[in-house]
Amino acid sequence: MLRLLRWLFTGDGHLHKWVRIGVIGVFEKDGDSTPVAKMVTQECEHCGKIKTFKIKN
């Protein structure tokens, strides 16, 4: 039982539950008023792992 709980909470065996923690606009050059893309940062609620990815506008 303990091993199962450890596997669930500390191992790689869980499905990451991504929660959006930040969005940053990406500009082609300084001074642009409209971002060309967005950088989204997400954190897993379970293990604290962070991933960042880009979305095109």
- Interface with Zn ion by CB under 5 A: which residues? 16, 44, 46-47, 49
Residue nearest to Zn ion (CB): 44
**Closest to Zn ion by CB, 8 or 36:** 8
Helices in the chain by DSSP H: which ranges? 2-10
Phi, psi of 16 (to 5 degrees): -60, 135
From the list 5, 22, 9, the residue with the least C-alpha distance to 48 is 9
**Closest to Zn ion by CB, 21 or 36:** 21
**Closest to Zn ion by CB, 16 or 38:** 16
